Amino acid sequence: MGQKTAFIYDERYFWHDTGSSVLFLPPGEFLQPDGTAESPDSKRRVKNLLERSKFIRKLTVMEPRSATLEEVESFHTPAYVERIKRLSDSGGGDAGGFTPFGPGSYEIALLSAGGAITAVDAVMQGQVDNAYALTRPPGHHAQADSGAGYCIFNNVVIAAHHARRTYGLKRIMVLDWDVHHGNGTEDAFYADPDTLFVSLHQENNFPNDRGYMEHTGEGEGMGTTLNIPLYAGTSDAGYLYAFEKLIVPIAEQFQPELILISAGQDANNYDPLARMMVTADGFHRMASIVKQLADRVCQGRVVACHEGGYSTAYVPFCTLRVIEALRGEDSGVPDPFLVSLANMPRINQLLPHQKEQIDQIARIHTAYWKIG
């Protein structure tokens, strides 16, 4: 018998309209309009795969509620929230940093933040052991007064504030394995000694001026920001080495009471907005490590919130593996891409330059933590 795992989604998540673009650029004279990379398909197909495999029957399906203004403004400025509402009511606009949205997206963004809150409530109240919220729009790039990178409201930050305010938690860990740096989340907690923020991301991808290994926090929060920029081409082996060398030993010393995951499955081998080589099995192994860590330090409390992931073909399989790991049960769905992935050179090798990058980060953090 596996763990009791919540799965939280709403059809309205898939109705958030990001308009047309060319990958992440607006259409132009020589750029023919196309659907945005952040389309509903990669998220809706997660739900579809769960239904097609019948694995959804093993999950506790929950409907999200909308976040309140007070909850959203625990991080975002009232002026920013009002601007998003005004634009949404008048047909749409841009939240900032090329984050286009259409009419009704204000309400959907509140529902997305509310999905993260619903997941926290379900875990903290003991209704389930852990939870996966298929939140859309995503959140980890959103800053207090601006959106960015398809993110309108910062779902994980809002959920963390809710967990503290409602349940009196002190120490919270936010693990962001989205391939892009979680700059908005980092901003929220950069000086906070009670939040351990960990970001695994492709070096200099997006935003290209954030997420350096030397960025370790400020003031009382020195050492509680752990940036792990990884070289393009890093595969499962590099990510797992980062968990072994850095993430697990630091988290065990930090002793969080709740672990929030910004679960962007865009480090996968087929993603159009990244150059990494993580397989669905790699995501399963990372999620399993987090689940085992949570069992040791925080009564198994894990909440994962969906972030990026733009391969409509492969993201559903990667996300299914994350949910399988949280549930502790195999869905029986094979990875149809495994044969082609297995033939790629170095897919499961930790290369010397990748190891040295992680070891260098470890040397920086020996000032704050005991790392073997």
Do the beta carbons of residue 229 and residue 213 sit within 8 Å? yes
Structure token pair of residue 154: 């910062």
**What are the structure tokens assigned to 103, written together?**
């009419």
Which are the contacts of 158, defined by CB distance < 8 A and separation ≥ 6?
67, 71, 72, 74, 75, 113, 116, 117, 139
Is 306 marked active-site?
Answer: no
Please choose, from the candidates 138, 160, 148, 144, the residue with its C-alpha nearest in 3D space to the C-alpha of residue 209: 148
CA distances for 1 relative to 26, 124, 126, 129, 328, angstroms: 49, 21, 17, 13, 8
Q: Facing residues of 61 across strands?
A: 7
**Angle 220-138-362 from CA coordinates, rounded to 5°:** 40
Residue type, 132: Y
- The residue annotated as part of the active site, out of 141, 180, 201, 215, is 141
* Residues assigned a catalytic role: 141
